[in-house]
Amino acid sequence: MKSEEAIDWGQRDLRHVWHPCSQMKDYESLPPIVLERAKGVYLYDMEGKAYMDIISSWWCNLLGHNHPRLSHALVTQLGRMEHAIFANFTHRPAIELCEHLATLLPSSLTKFFFTDNGSAAIEAAMKMSFQFHAQSPNEQDRKRVKFMALENAYHGETLGALSAGGVDLYSALYKPLLLDVVRTPAPDCFRCPHSKTRATCQAECFSVVEPFFATHGATTTAFLVEPLLQAAAGMRIYPPIFLQKLRHACTQHGIHLIADEIATGFGRTGTMFACQQAAITPDFICLSKGLTGGYMPMAIVAATQEIYDAFYDDYGTHKAFLHSHTYSGNPMACALALEVLRTMQQEEILAQANALAPRAHQILCDALADHHNVGEIRQLGLINAIELVADKKTKTPFPSELRVGYQIYKQALQRGLLLRPLGDVLYFNPPLTITESEWQHATKICQQAIVSCTTS
């Protein structure tokens, strides 16, 4: 039972708060859970009930909640300076962060531009790419005014980023407001049109993307892509070879490749950045989410020296990138991001996560792979996605109005697991520091929740 006080807070919330990505009417039957504190992989409500945060609070919580080192870094920075204008001023946390990032990213990405959320980083990269071509001495390049992106892509919510996205649920209604982005087919490995497996795939499906380059290659400024993982679309995982072919096509046609590593960066996919697995170098990489360990909103656009140089000139030539956000380069967020990188390095976080990853996948498969509504359990790093289907053989989805994923979400919550599915795709994307026994516990609750919502 909830105490009177907790009920009161929940009701007070609903009087004024409009929550993200929610039909607020759903809150009538499932009121907001009033959180009080968090530690490691757990969130605690005002009753002290624990919820295992197996989705890293929307994929940002990288090393666990209330991490001693990160919290200390934040408090230390707070004692020095909370925020200051970043034009003409700088500070050690930003400088050291960029120096450290430069050692981790492909060596040609040497310049870092700060924004305050992921969508804003995407917008900045889009504007930079456009401006790069718009002020090119080459007349042909000045015709590059379009963007290309994959079906099912997700790049954020602001109008430019939403234009690049291809998840209709989020963008269809806003079409009249959006940029006209050339949308190419995306890999669909679960329902591969070439009947390949992940082991035998040579990205045959890229052949249907190529014609788009033939048609739009000369007028496109950049291709946006989420490397290896279309996360918001349902943790759709595709092989590195598709990314290699995409990089090649972009290079052939003089198109910038913008890698959106907002969800995939900082070890989520088993390497520090997903692009490394394809051994490709994009022209831009956008970073956020795990960047600050999930403590503070911050994002970074990493760009090549070549792009930076194209903006570098006397003031009167009007070539500068006149784009700013009030909280650009916030020192507290920079101090956190720097401590995230140091912690990952000194505590060998990625090696530990990679040691757990195969066992973790096996635990989930042992518990769930044989269930008649589990179509596939796919894995990349510690990210595991369970795609539920009505019919395992034909891979027929459940009718969306059944909201099977949402029913399972509610069951799991009752049992103390925060498992926020994407439609009927359940997924684990926990802090990289999760232990095997915590993973086992989450698996057990997930299994119970699935069983309680499906017929046997």
Ligand X SMILES: *Cc1c(COP(=O)(O)O)cnc(C)c1O
Cα separation, 356 vs 364, in Å, equals 12
Q: Mark out the alpha helices in 284-348 (DSSP H runs).
A: 305-309, 331-346
Which residues partner with 418 through β-bridges? 53
The least CB distance from residue 303 to ligand X, in Å, is 17
- Would you count residue 262 as binding ligand X (CB under 6 A)? yes
Cα separation, 118 vs 298, in Å, equals 7
Relative to beta strand 220-225, strand 146-150 is parallel
Interface pick for ligand X out of 94, 231, 413, 432 (rule CB under 6 A) = 231
- Would you count residue 243 as binding ligand X (CB under 6 A)? no
Radius of gyration of the chain (CA): 22
Both structure tokens of 449? 């929740």
The least CB distance from residue 332 to ligand X, in Å, is 17
Binding string to ligand X for residues 128 to 167, with x set by CB under 6 A, is what?
--------------------------xxxx----------
Interface pick for ligand X out of 128, 263, 272, 425 (rule CB under 6 A) = 263
The least CB distance from residue 154 to ligand X, in Å, is 5
Which CB sits closer to ligand X, 155 or 438? Answer: 155
- Between the alpha carbon of residue 153 and those of residues 31, 149, 210, 305, the distances in Å are 31, 7, 18, 27
Strands of the 182-184 sheet, one edge to the other: 109-115, 299-304, 284-287, 256-260, 220-225, 146-150, 182-184
Q: Which stretch binds ligand X (CB under 6 A): 45-53, 140-148, 179-187, 255-263?
A: 255-263
Which residues in 347-406 contact ligand X (CB under 6 A)? none
Which CB sits closer to ligand X, 126 or 453? Answer: 126
Q: Reduce the DSSP state of residue 240 to 3 states and report it.
A: helix
Which CB sits closer to ligand X, 221 or 429? Answer: 429
Which residues in 70-129 contact ligand X (CB under 6 A)? 117-119, 122
The least CB distance from residue 289 to ligand X, in Å, is 6
Which CB sits closer to ligand X, 217 or 294? Answer: 294
Spacing of C-alpha 267 from chain mean position: 12
Which CB sits closer to ligand X, 126 or 404? Answer: 126
Binding-site size for ligand X (CB under 6 A) equals 16
- Would you count residue 288 as binding ligand X (CB under 6 A)? yes
Cα separation, 304 vs 306, in Å, equals 5
The least CB distance from residue 97 to ligand X, in Å, is 18
Interface pick for ligand X out of 123, 260, 339, 387 (rule CB under 6 A) = 260
| Closest by CA position to 147, among listed 211, 229, 219 | 219
Q: Nearest-CB residue to ligand X? A: 118
Both structure tokens of 180? 């006209």
Around Cβ 22, how many Cβ atoms within 10 Å?
11
**Full DSSP string of 414-447:** HTTEE---BTTEEEE---TT--HHHHHHHHHHHH
Which CB sits closer to ligand X, 156 or 375? Answer: 156
- Would you count residue 55 as binding ligand X (CB under 6 A)? no
Which CB sits closer to ligand X, 122 or 450? Answer: 122
The least CB distance from residue 165 to ligand X, in Å, is 8
- Provide the binding-site residues for ligand X, judged by CB under 6 A: 117-119, 122, 154-157, 226, 231-232, 260, 262-263, 288-289
